[in-house]
């Protein structure tokens, strides 16, 4: 066996590729991890970690301000915040992650991988072979609209890695990246305008969540422009001007284009197997790519759930499926990412936070479920102690036939940690009658669970 022969080759060393590879290596398979940029991927260097590091100090300051008696300063120390962010990205140096990968038994191969025939991957001219499987975990890249005049702009990479606070910033797109980055930079002192094409940001969430986030952004001085599409861009002395469908022009020192992402299937050789560059690789629940029995994929590149935790879950399933050789395994077993269909949790790390799992009311009705929706303000002893003037809302979507939860949304300060209880209830198909016996500790924000069940009629 030569240095280029492996059992498994994983293309893409982001969080998902790392996990898939670690799983196959732990199962005794000789595994290569091919990475074109930094081992750790988008999440570690330009997404989850730096964005959360930029947001957290503003949340801590806002939380302190809501509790009289806590001494607080006037503003964040931006230099210290950016220095802490740099620490979380290891100054964009992946040697720690490479050390971890090698310690997990992986062979790290630097370079751009490309499918080069059956069970073969070329990496900058060198050809590797995989006796068992090739796993594509190449992630996603920003989707940039075709806007007349669009020249220099920020993507989430520049927005998370900026070395200085921009004096002003225009953010185009009201998805998760748009709202998180608008708040992070506003709280660090930038003058921010957020341009949203719909009625409110966060269109994939319950409407009340987007509305509460808008309130939070406006309190931080963000100008939120809704119902406006970008129609053109021009360069000004001090930066960039964005022309909107409403006739208005908004300008800032930088323009952040946050209009979504697309699967990184470019220059990957997928066409040879019947797929198109820029489109997601279709997979079954074990991660096997349709019609190619040795090819697997997981994470953003599959378009199933563009979230690190859910991609890592898919990676564990893929890794287990490859190691065990499972054929058509039962749902809810370890080689199968069954929860992707009904129980994907997500937190939007703005202040207020949005924590959502399962289906929104609209998605549940679209799926043909007979649902009942319970809405409540989060107003319990735990929330009033947590912060003066606590403002938050909760929604529980119940499948009336099974009397189980199919969706839960919390929006309010510090609701993220309440989400896992909802995920467990949905995955476990716990009935509301049994949930009644899961008593929330007093006085915590989780007491809202009791109020939701009371409002349901228990
Ligand atoms: C600003 C921002 C904030 C986010 N915050 C969160 C969050 O808080 N929580 C959360 O769950 N999710 C968050 N996400 C989403 C999260 O970053 C992604 O879901 C996650 O990174 C996907 O992991 P992945 O391994 O599939 O892809 P990636 O992290 O994109 O990694 C793919 C890797 O593959 C490499 N690669 C690509 N093509 C090749 C090739 N041909 N050869 C070799 N290597 C290749 C890339 O260099 C990269 O390292 C955020 C996203 C953004 C943009
Ligand atoms: N906290 C987190 O978990 C977190 C944080 C950031 C990103 N992410 C993930 O990363 C992925 C990418 O996030 P994103 O915010 O880039 O994408 P997104 O798809 O969530 O949002 C993009 C938004 O841009 C809007 N848009 C698209 N084209 C537009 C145009 N021409 N003009 C104006 N608006 C336009 C869309 O309507 C949409 O609301 C998401 O799936 C998200 O789940 C997760």
- Find the domain containing 407 and state its range: 352-456
Read off the CATH number of the domain in which 375 is found. 3.30.390.30
The 3-state DSSP class for residue 100 equals helix
pLDDT confidence tier of residue 2, bands split at 50, 70 and 90: confident
Asked, for residue 189, whether it belongs to a domain, the answer is: yes
pLDDT at position 73: 87
Q: Is the pLDDT of residue 259 over 80?
A: yes
* Residue minimizing CA distance to atom 12 of ligand 2: 260
pLDDT at position 352: 98
Asked, for residue 209, whether it belongs to a domain, the answer is: yes
CB of 261 within 6 A of ligand 2: the answer is yes
Are 133 and 281 in the same domain? yes
Are 252 and 267 in the same domain? no
pLDDT confidence tier of residue 361, bands split at 50, 70 and 90: very high
CB of 347 within 6 A of ligand 1: the answer is no
Query: Which atom of ligand 1 is closest in space to residue 46's alpha carbon?
Result: 1
Give ipTM to 2 decimals: 0.98
Rounded Cα distance between 222 and 171, Å, is 10
pLDDT at position 333: 97
Q: Is the pLDDT of residue 327 over 90?
A: no
**Cis amide linkage into residue 18, ω under 30° from 0:** no
DSSP states of 178-195: HHHHHHHHHHTT-EEEEE
Are 358 and 221 in the same domain? no
pLDDT at position 218: 98
Asked, for residue 347, whether it belongs to a domain, the answer is: no
* CA nearest to 60, candidates 80, 86, 87, 88: 80
Best residue among 15, 49, 177, 307 to mutate for probing ligand 2's pocket (most ligand atoms within 8 Å of CB) is 177
Which of 220, 236, 259 delimits the end of a domain? 259
Query: How many domains are there within the chain?
Result: 3
**Each residue of 119-176: pLDDT tens digit?**
999 999 999 999 999 999 999 999 999 999 999 999 999 999 999 999 999 999 999 9
**Each residue of 84-100: pLDDT tens digit?**
999 999 999 999 999 99
Are 390 and 447 in the same domain? yes
State the average pLDDT for the chain: 97
pLDDT confidence tier of residue 326, bands split at 50, 70 and 90: confident
CB of 139 within 6 A of ligand 2: the answer is no
Are 306 and 368 in the same domain? no
Tokens 């378009």, residue located: 303
Asked, for residue 334, whether it belongs to a domain, the answer is: no
Asked, for residue 420, whether it belongs to a domain, the answer is: yes
**Each residue of 35-65: pLDDT tens digit?**
999 999 999 999 999 999 999 999 999 999 9
* Residue minimizing CA distance to atom 27 of ligand 1: 139
* Percentage with pLDDT > 70 across the chain: 100
Asked, for residue 149, whether it belongs to a domain, the answer is: no
Which of 277, 310, 327 delimits the end of a domain? 327
Are 251 and 304 in the same domain? no
Are 29 and 121 in the same domain? yes
Element (H, E) at 177: helix 176-187
* CA nearest to 104, candidates 29, 6, 4: 29
CB of 161 within 6 A of ligand 1: the answer is no
* CA nearest to 267, candidates 114, 42, 38: 114
**Each residue of 181-213: pLDDT tens digit?**
999 999 999 999 999 999 999 999 999 999 999
Are 288 and 422 in the same domain? no
CB of 200 within 6 A of ligand 2: the answer is no
pLDDT at position 28: 98
Asked, for residue 66, whether it belongs to a domain, the answer is: no
Are 250 and 268 in the same domain? no
**Each residue of 348-357: pLDDT tens digit?**
999 999 999 9
Tokens 């074109």, residue located: 36
Q: Is the pLDDT of residue 1 over 80?
A: no
Are 266 and 120 in the same domain? yes
Are 378 and 404 in the same domain? yes
pLDDT at position 134: 98
Are 130 and 209 in the same domain? no
Read off the CATH number of the domain in which 212 is found. 3.50.50.60
* Percentage with pLDDT > 90 across the chain: 98
- Which ligand lies nearest to the CA atom of residue 116 in the structure? 1
Query: Which atom of ligand 2 is closest in space to residue 203's alpha carbon?
Result: 39
Asked, for residue 84, whether it belongs to a domain, the answer is: no
Tokens 């995920």, residue located: 423
pLDDT confidence tier of residue 237, bands split at 50, 70 and 90: confident
Are 315 and 23 spatial neighbours (Cβ–Cβ below 8 Å)? Answer: yes
Which of 294, 312, 327 delimits the end of a domain? 327
**Each residue of 280-294: pLDDT tens digit?**
999 999 999 999 999
């Amino acid at each position: 066996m030569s240095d280029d022969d492996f059992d498994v080759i994983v293309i893409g060393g982001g969080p998902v590729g790392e996990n898939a590879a670690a799983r196959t290596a732990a199962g005794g398979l000789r595994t290569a991890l091919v990475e074109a940029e930094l081992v750790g991927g988008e999440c570690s260097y330009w997404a989850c970690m730096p964005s959360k590091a930029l947001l957290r100090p503003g949340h801590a300051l806002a939380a302190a301000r809501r509790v009289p008696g806590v001494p607080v300063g006037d503003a964040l120390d931006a230099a210290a915040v950016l220095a802490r962010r740099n620490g979380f990205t290891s100054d964009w140096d992946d040697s720690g992650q490479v050390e971890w990968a090698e310690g997990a038994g992986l062979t790290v191969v630097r370079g751009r991988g490309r499918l080069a025939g059956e069970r073969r991957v070329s990496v900058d001219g060198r050809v590797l072979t995989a006796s068992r499987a090739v796993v594509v975990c190449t992630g996603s890249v920003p989707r940039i609209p075709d806007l007349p005049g669009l020249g220099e702009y920020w993507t989430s990479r520049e927005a998370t890695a900026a070395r200085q606070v921009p004096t002003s910033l225009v953010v185009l797109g009201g998805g998760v990246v748009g709202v998180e980055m608008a708040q992070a930079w506003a709280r660090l002192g930038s003058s921010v305008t957020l341009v949203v094409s719909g009625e409110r940001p966060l269109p994939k969430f319950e409407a009340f969540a987007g509305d509460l986030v808008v309130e939070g952004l406006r309190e931080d001085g963000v100008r939120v422009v809704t119902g406006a599409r970008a129609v053109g861009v021009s360069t000004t002395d001090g930066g960039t001007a964005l022309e909107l469908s409403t006739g208005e022009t908004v300008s800032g020192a930088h323009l952040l284009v946050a209009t979504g992402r697309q699967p990184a299937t470019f220059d990957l050789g997928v066409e040879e197997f019947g797929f198109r560059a820029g489109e997601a690789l279709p997979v079954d629940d074990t991660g096997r790519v349709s019609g190619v029995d040795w090819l697997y994929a997981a994470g953003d590149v599959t378009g199933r759930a563009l979230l690190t935790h859910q991609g890592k879950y898919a990676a564990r399933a893929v890794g287990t499926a490859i190691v065990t050789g499972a054929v058509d395994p039962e749902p809810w077993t370890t080689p199968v990412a069954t929860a992707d269909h009904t129980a994907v949790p997500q937190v939007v790390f703005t202040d207020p936070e949005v924590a959502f799992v399962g289906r929104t009311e609209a998605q549940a009705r679209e799926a043909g479920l007979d649902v009942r929706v319970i809405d409540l303000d989060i107003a319990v002893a735990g929330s009033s102690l947590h912060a003066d003037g606590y403002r938050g809302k909760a929604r529980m979507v119940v499948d009336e036939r099974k009397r189980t939860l199919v969706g839960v949304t919390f929006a309010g300060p510090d609701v993220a940690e309440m989400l896992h209880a909802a995920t467990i209830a949905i995955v476990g198909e716990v009935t509301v009658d049994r949930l009644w016996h899961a008593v929330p500790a007093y006085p915590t924000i989780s007491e809202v669970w009791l109020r939701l069940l009371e409002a349901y009629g228990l």
